[in-house]
Chains A and B, each alone.
Chain A
Amino acid sequence: MPIMASQGRSDARGTAQLLASMALDCIANPAVARERQVALNNVYRLLESYRVNRFFGSDLPNQGYQNDAQKLALKRPIERHVKEVRDALEHARKVAFGDASKDDALQKLETVLRSVTYPDADESRVSHEDQQQATQFFRALGDHLRIGLETE
């Protein structure tokens, strides 16, 4: 096995962890959000995939493991651990929003994100409680992913 194989290339959990951490950072400190619009748009994309796409995270136990010839191909390796990202999103939703419906929870999160990302264009009112729930959500998401990786 190549020496760098221990590094988890194309690991969706790392990407999701970065996204959660940036969202947290911007909610806590809206002044930095303006220069992080691109990253926050990707947080939104991730949340939308979780909210509406039934195939999101339907990767299989052995998906992403390539044979020797495939490893030499220059295509990007298949993203691994998308299922774990979906599970972490599910966990974070329960922690932050309890029994609220998935749509209601995600609607709230996306409103907070929009208000942080585009404060000038956004007309919706975001309460302090909404912001706290969003913070709780992204913190739980990051923690769950980190714990999953540490116990692997």
Chain B
Amino acid sequence: MRPEEFLTEEFANVQRALHETLRYDYGPEETRIYYKECESRLNEIKKQIARIAPSEIWAQLNELASLSVWISLIERSRLGEFSWPFAELIRDIAKPLLTEKLYRGKIVIEPIIHVVAEGEGYQIVYELVPPPSTNHRFAIVAFPRPLKHHVLLHTIFGHEIGHTAQHTNDAGDLIGTTVADELTAAGHLSAAAEITRWLNDPGAPKEIKNNIAQYLADNGVSYTFPEVYVEKWVEELICDLFGLLLFGPGFVAAHKVLLRPTHRTPYEFDLLEPTHPPYAVRHRMLVRALRLLGWEKPVTTIAHCNIHQAELATINFVVDDPYSAWAAFFDDRQLTAAIHGLQNVLQQYGNFQYQQPESQILSDLVDRLRRRLPPIGADIDREGNPTFTEHSMTHSLLAGWVYWLGQDNLVKADALSFLDINKLCDQALLQERGILAGRTK
């Protein structure tokens, strides 16, 4: 079989794989769009194969291989493996951010956001260099399968959406010029040499001093921060701010619960492959940003009694920052400018910014959890009629955190487990979406 013949054979194989998928026949609307995109890509590839040069057969085979991965994912999107109301929330947020405008807006192309559950942690996979056959770009949102119900932790997707947005041409350009440029104009992130200087600061914690000394002993030269990783730190820190602005204090809580235990020490980072800044730097930045936004102030008052105490306990957990002053990476002016830049981006692309809830709303939502009900603005009035007050889904999630972190103030016995709280919050998102869909109809 000649290479050209193998390419034709492989094309037919991938085409057959697509036609053998069943899910598109009975799946939700999004699955059909996904299937159609795969079909359209195959049609384009067929045209390409007709004129392919022998030197490009390998690249065309790669394109077919990638397409076969996308096709295999059609069958992998099982609603029973992740929180689909949260997945819908991610779709809502991501769609405007990832919608592309070609030729100065003459062609507008929406992304296809496909959701799956995987064995690993939170991820969004996005096509950076679109293959020639691409019409809609795919963005695959991967939930960690073991955390099926943990919607409070799913707010960490705010960080992942930030990564994807930064790699788009529209929102990504704006983030680059209005946020990244601010954070790198001066200070530690302005150059690799500045990070090296910061690592060697006399005020650095002993963990850093020991690591740097060990590096010198092992290699015979002083450690210098690798230039190629500076941009990675910029990206990661922007993503953290992105998550904060999308999900508010609940994002910082999830960030702390998920990330702190995965670091041996809060200052640790891999000297040879420093893909992420130390945890302490990220936490310090988030807490400072949260204060600059005024979100460290409780929304409930003393009149809300125990719920107010529970909210204070939550805030204390979130803003607790026991780390060295060395971990402060940005000054307030820089951080404020970056926050304003991101607020501007979010305003232009869907306006999904977090807003603090009104005191009574938060109090009512937490009270519903205390009564073991999903935290939504639904109730039965005195005449026995159902009532519904719409509010942001992020407020249901905040209520979940307030109940969990402040439960000592709320219940004396039989407190809900973290899993149960998450399940109730998941139910709240589901019910709210259902009610809103019903109203629209």
Q: In residues 27-79 of chain B, which contact A (Cβ within 8 Å)?
A: 40, 44, 47-48, 51, 53, 55-56, 58-63, 65-66, 69-70, 72-73, 76
- The contact sample of 18 A-B pairs, CB cut-off 8 A, is A9-B62, A9-B65, A11-B62, A15-B129, A21-B53, A38-B134, A42-B130, A45-B134, A45-B169, A52-B169, A52-B173, A53-B167, A55-B180, A62-B273, A74-B76, A76-B73, A114-B103, A121-B106
Question: Which candidate, A78-86, A93-101, A130-138, is the interface stretch facing chain B?
Answer: A78-86
Of A16, A39, A61, A85, most B-chain CB atoms within 10 Å? A39
Query: A134 to B106, alpha carbons, bound, how many Å?
Result: 22
Query: Chain B residues with Cβ under 8 A from A85's Cβ?
Result: 129
Query: A85 to B128, alpha carbons, bound, how many Å?
Result: 11
8 extra interface residue pairs, beta carbon distance < 8 Å, beyond A18-B60, A38-B40, A55-B231: A8-B58, A11-B59, A14-B58, A18-B63, A35-B47, A38-B44, A53-B176, A76-B73
CB-based contact A18/B59 at 8 Å: yes
Query: A8 to B62, alpha carbons, bound, how many Å?
Result: 7
A81 to chain B, nearest CB (A): 9
Tell me the nearest residue of chain A to B107, going by C-beta.
A41
A139 at the interface (CB under 8 A from B): no
Tell me the nearest residue of chain B to A59, going by C-beta.
B128
B133 at the interface (CB under 8 A from A): yes
Query: A2 to B438, alpha carbons, bound, how many Å?
Result: 51
CB-based contact A14/B273 at 8 Å: no
Query: Chain B residues with Cβ under 8 A from A121's Cβ?
Result: 106
Q: A48-B169, A82-B129 are in contact. Are A75 and B140 (CB under 8 A)?
A: yes
Query: A10 to B133, alpha carbons, bound, how many Å?
Result: 15
Query: Chain B residues with Cβ under 8 A from A17's Cβ?
Result: 56, 59
Query: Chain A residues with Cβ under 8 A from B55's Cβ?
Result: 146
Q: A10-B62, A18-B60 are in contact. Are A75 and B142 (CB under 8 A)?
A: yes
Query: Chain B residues with Cβ under 8 A from A32's Cβ?
Result: 51
B258 at the interface (CB under 8 A from A): no
Query: A34 to B390, alpha carbons, bound, how many Å?
Result: 49
A70 at the interface (CB under 8 A from B): yes
CB-based contact A52/B58 at 8 Å: no
CB-based contact A39/B59 at 8 Å: no
Query: Chain B residues with Cβ under 8 A from A12's Cβ?
Result: 128-129
Q: In residues 3-29 of chain A, which contact B (Cβ within 8 Å)?
A: 7-12, 14-19, 21-22, 25
Query: Chain A residues with Cβ under 8 A from B235's Cβ?
Result: 55, 58
Query: Chain A residues with Cβ under 8 A from B130's Cβ?
Result: 15, 42, 45-46
B298 at the interface (CB under 8 A from A): no
CB-based contact B59/A45 at 8 Å: no
Query: Chain B residues with Cβ under 8 A from A110's Cβ?
Result: 103
Q: A17-B59, A18-B59 are in contact. Are A36 and B173 (CB under 8 A)?
A: no
Tell me the nearest residue of chain A to B51, going by C-beta.
A25
CB-based contact B134/A42 at 8 Å: yes
Contact with B along A85-121 (1 / 0, CB 8 A): 1000000000000000000000000100010001001
Query: Chain B residues with Cβ under 8 A from A77's Cβ?
Result: 69
A69 at the interface (CB under 8 A from B): yes
CB-based contact B129/A53 at 8 Å: no
CB-based contact B61/A76 at 8 Å: no
Query: A88 to B40, alpha carbons, bound, how many Å?
Result: 29
The 8 closest A-B pairs by CB, nearest first: A14-B59, A39-B132, A52-B173, A54-B176, A12-B129, A48-B169, A42-B130, A58-B231
Q: A10-B66, A14-B62, A76-B125 are in contact. Are A60 and B166 (CB under 8 A)?
A: no
Query: Chain A residues with Cβ under 8 A from B231's Cβ?
Result: 54-55, 58
Secondary structure of the A side of the interface?
helix
Query: A43 to B125, alpha carbons, bound, how many Å?
Result: 21
Query: Chain B residues with Cβ under 8 A from A36's Cβ?
Result: 47
Query: Which of under 10, 10 to 19, 20 to 34, or 35 or more describes the interface residues of B?
Result: 35 or more
B100 at the interface (CB under 8 A from A): yes
Query: A146 to B54, alpha carbons, bound, how many Å?
Result: 13
CB-based contact B128/A69 at 8 Å: no
B119 at the interface (CB under 8 A from A): yes
B222 to chain A, nearest CB (A): 21
Residue in contact with B128 in the complex, picked from A56, A62, A146, CB distance below 8 Å: A56
Query: Chain A residues with Cβ under 8 A from B125's Cβ?
Result: 75-76, 78
A121 to chain B, nearest CB (A): 8
A19 to chain B, nearest CB (A): 6
B314 at the interface (CB under 8 A from A): no
B357 at the interface (CB under 8 A from A): no
Tell me the nearest residue of chain B to A23, going by C-beta.
B132
Tell me the nearest residue of chain A to B44, going by C-beta.
A38
Tell me the nearest residue of chain B to A38, going by C-beta.
B44
Query: Chain B residues with Cβ under 8 A from A11's Cβ?
Result: 59, 62
Query: A49 to B123, alpha carbons, bound, how many Å?
Result: 21
B15 at the interface (CB under 8 A from A): no
CB-based contact B66/A9 at 8 Å: yes
Query: Chain A residues with Cβ under 8 A from B128's Cβ?
Result: 12, 49, 56, 79, 82
Of B61, B62, B106, B138, most A-chain CB atoms within 10 Å? B62
CB-based contact A39/B133 at 8 Å: yes
Query: A16 to B62, alpha carbons, bound, how many Å?
Result: 12
B229 at the interface (CB under 8 A from A): yes
A16 to chain B, nearest CB (A): 6
Contact with A along B78-122 (1 / 0, CB 8 A): 000000000000000000000010110011000000001011100
Contact with A along B273-298 (1 / 0, CB 8 A): 10100000000000000000000000
